[in-house]
């Protein structure tokens, strides 16, 4: 929209100056008039989003090409109407059209559009060049067409190179995302959660910043798969992931540990607070069915990092607490702190 506004202002200023210096003509007035009409219309369309940006860009490209082609044809073939058109500035502006064409998102589309526009200018020029090579504008016309062809080739080379670089960046980014993301739930996968735990262990060792984890899974998940099918089971896992996020903070990290088992890492969070949050999570999940009318419950195992811990010992304690929650009836949160089982906090 900024370019459209600037183009409109530039056209108005140029027209005014030409009128002041007596260099205008009927043809030039028509060209400037079209510019002053076209740019505001495109500005409003882009501003109100009446058409897609791609359509607006194509319309601007075709309009600029059409105006240049018309002026070129009038100057070469109709001196009476095109006498006031100076070919040299016009020929200097035509290569800008190709630069503009290569700002389009698809570099192959840019190449096709540029070649089509060049073909139009070649078609306009050929009859003029065929008459005689001694005509006044032959040399400059040939130079313009040659420079245009070279410019298009250079622009395509650089745009295709840039396109390959972008694809490489996207590929690397996508591979990194896939390596750290669970395909079903779109949560962090076990590999990524292991990295986060290792990072938090490092912070605890260096700065004493404690953290806690919640290990939880769906009670009787096999029954869900057997009764409703694996499709419903997958939907349940996805819904559980979304439901769990309702209870967590932005700084907490939720990931799928494997199967129907999930893990939450809570930085700067003590054991008692984490145990309360796990109990609240049990209540929140059981309150409303995740998928359809079949409600599920979860069991949670909670622990907090202690001096001398490793990632394995931390996870083993959480797993032990989860096992105890299962043994005591499920749909509950249990915790283990420094090897000691904490009394049951909550039963839903």
Catalytic residue numbers read: 260
The residues, any chain, with a CB within 8 Å of residue 319's CB and separated by 6 or more, are: 215, 301
Please count the other Cβ atoms lying within 10 Å of the Cβ belonging to residue 228: 15
Burial class (CB in 10 A: 0-12, 13-18, 19+), 308: exposed
CA distance 299 to 331: 5
Report which of 274, 245, 230 is spatially closest to residue 186, judged by C-alpha positions. Answer: 245
Strand order in the sheet with 298-304: 253-258, 261-267, 211-218, 298-304, 332-337, 340-347
Dihedral sign from CA coordinates of 221, 224, 227, 231: negative
194, containing H or E segment: helix 190-207
Q: In the numeric block, which tokens belong to residue 159?
A: 């745009």
Residue 264's alpha-carbon distances to 215, 258, 277, 294, 320, in angstroms, are 7, 13, 11, 25, 16
Three-state SS at 82: helix
134 backbone dihedrals φ, ψ, rounded to 5°: -100, 5
CA distance 59 to 47: 15
Radius of gyration of the chain (CA): 35
CA distance 175 to 189: 14
CA distance 133 to 115: 25
């Amino acid at each position: 929209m900024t370019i459209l506004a600037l183009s409109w202002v530039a056209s108005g200023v140029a027209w005014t100056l030409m009128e002041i210096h007596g260099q205008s003509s009927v043809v030039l007035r028509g060209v400037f008039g079209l510019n002053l009409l076209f740019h505001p219309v495109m500005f409003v369309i882009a501003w109100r989003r009446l058409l897609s940006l791609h359509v607006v860009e194509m319309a601007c490209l075709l309009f600029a090409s059409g105006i240049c082609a018309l002026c070129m044809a009038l100057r070469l073939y109709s001196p009476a109407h095109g006498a006031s058109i100076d070919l040299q500035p016009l020929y200097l502006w035509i290569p800008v059209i190709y630069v503009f064409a290569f700002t389009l998102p698809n570099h192959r589309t840019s190449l096709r559009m540029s070649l089509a526009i060049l073909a139009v200018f070649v078609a306009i020029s050929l009859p003029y060049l065929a008459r005689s090579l001694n005509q006044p504008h032959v040399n400059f016309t040939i130079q313009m067409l040659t420079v245009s062809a070279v410019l298009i080739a250079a622009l395509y080379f650089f745009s295709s190179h840039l396109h390959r670089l972008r694809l490489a960046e996207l590929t690397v980014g996508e591979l990194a995302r896939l390596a750290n993301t669970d395909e079903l739930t779109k949560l962090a996968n076990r590999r990524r959660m292991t990295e986060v735990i290792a990072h938090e262990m490092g912070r605890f060792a260096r700065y004493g910043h404690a953290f806690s984890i919640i290990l939880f899974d769906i009670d009787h998940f096999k029954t869900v798969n057997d009764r409703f099918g694996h499709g419903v089971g997958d939907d349940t896992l996805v819904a559980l992931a979304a439901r769990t996020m309702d209870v967590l903070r932005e700084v907490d990290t939720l990931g799928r540990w494997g199967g129907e088992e999930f893990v939450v890492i809570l930085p700067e969070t003590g054991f008692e607070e984490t145990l309360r949050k796990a109990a609240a999570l049990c209540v929140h999940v059981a309150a409303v069915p995740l998928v359809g009318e079949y409600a599920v419950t979860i069991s949670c195992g909670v622990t907090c990092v202690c001096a001398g811990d490793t990632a394995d010992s931390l996870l083993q304690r959480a797993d032990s607490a989860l096992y105890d929650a299962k043994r005591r009836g499920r749909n509950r949160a249990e915790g283990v702190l420094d090897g000691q089982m904490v009394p049951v906090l909550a039963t839903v």
